[in-house]
Amino acid sequence: MPEHYDNKPAEAEPPAPKKKREGVKMTDAQKKALNKHMEKSGLTGSEAKSHRMKMMGRMRKGMSVNKAHADIKKTSK
């Protein structure tokens, strides 16, 4: 009989463990600064949510509100 007809299950490598994504939480000062920024932004629903998420991602990396906002403006063009 050919080898592929054996009753043995195929040996497969176990799946690689998923990399745990370590989240960096925003400080209270960052949250307050972002809330203040969002209040004066004047964006509508989905625009505001999109802008807020972009800002949060950059602020978690250590950017200030002003630097994050400038980076968003620069990359959106």
pLDDT > 70: percent of the chain: 77
C-alpha–C-alpha distance, residues 54 and 77, integer Å? 15
User: Which of 61, 69, 54, 53 has its CA nearest to residue 24?
Assistant: 61
41 against 69, higher pLDDT: 69
Band of the pLDDT at 58, cuts 50, 70, 90? very high
- Could you tell me which residues come within 8 angstroms of residue 48 by beta carbon, excluding any fewer than 6 positions away? 38, 41
